[in-house]
Amino acid sequence: MIIKVIDPSEDKRWDNFIYNHPEGTIFHTSNWARVIQKTYGYIPYYFILIEEADQKVAGGCPFFLIKNYLTGNRLVCLPFTDNCFPLFNQSTNIDFIFFPIVKMMKQRKLDNIEIRGEMADSLKKFNFNKHNYYKLFRLDISIGLDNLWKEFKQKSIRYPIRKAQNSGIIIEKSVSEEILKSFYRLNILTRRKHGIIPQPYKFFLHIQQEIFNRNLGFLLIARYKNIVIAGSLFFIYKNTIYYKFNASHINYLKFQPNHLILWEAIKWAVENDYKIFDLGRTSPDNPGLMALKRHWGTEEIDLPYYYWPEIRGTSATKESSLRYRIVSSVLKKTSIPLLKIAGNLFYKHLG
């Protein structure tokens, strides 16, 4: 075996490996790597194992090096991603790749390694600490629309969908920058409502360039009397559709636009032969959102993260912590112009 460190955009073997690996996701691809790289300027360190005989990739750990004064210098697999873990062929010995990674950490005096997603017990020997906090929600949509509808909770899912339909909400599918700008405006409002720092606009612009324009995702928006009142970003890859970002205007939530957007996305996915609807991670400190995702009939999965040498960083901060609540309280009172500035300046430190 040969170990190499690559930029995934410059080595086509990486995307071929991800596409053919049963657990490869859109977040493992070079498309997502370019979104992160172009937006935040992080340096990719994709460690790969190469078979000497045929020069094919036998495994890989996709990391970005995040260097900043707020959270230290870290290798993260993968920033701004819910679930993205190293992938290997069944016969591959991961010792070949993790010993050099930990060695590099020590040599360069980096502060931390973070891996997002289930790695079973394979990291124990390297003294990684497991942090089992988030939950991942997935919906099996291969059972068909009729069976899915029966699984939805009547009061919390089916009734809001019908209400949105009867209110005259129109759902549109788009990849245009004009609609993206409308979504971004709603995103700022939504992030302030929840007390969360917003992403910079260029993040979504790079998603349009690297994901939407390559037929790997789209935006669904809800209109009420020709006003854009809600929107969600979806990624698609292999047999899975990913519900990645959602934003809406608080004054129109009574019409339940978000429920209808999700239902239309599910219908589209079933009609186009996708099998899994990934609703992303959720903090257990948000019981309302946890319950809502359960009411769609999803499977709830533990989503552990692994840290070396210790558990630290923004993803390890619980929403119930005092620090999180103080920052959230401040952001809820911050003006929109200041929020945009804060997102441009500081969001990159949260990867």
Q: Which of these, 271, 205, 198, 200, lies nearest to 236 by C-alpha position?
A: 271
Q: How many CA atoms lie within 13 A of 309 on its CB side?
A: 7
Do residues 47 and 17 lie in contact, with contact meaning Cβ atoms separated by under 8 Å? no
Write down the pTM of the prediction: 0.94
Q: Which backbone phi and psi does 316 adopt, to 5 degrees?
A: -95, -5
65/78 Cα distance (integer angstroms): 10
70/101 Cα distance (integer angstroms): 23
State pLDDT tens for residues 266-319.
Answer: 999 999 999 999 999 999 999 999 999 999 999 999 999 999 888 988 888 888
Domains and CATH numbers, the chain: 2-127 (3.40.630.30), 137-303+329-350 (3.40.630.30)
Local confidence band at 106 (pLDDT 50, 70, 90 cut-offs) = confident
State pLDDT tens for residues 9-53.
Answer: 999 999 999 999 999 999 999 999 999 999 999 999 999 988 878
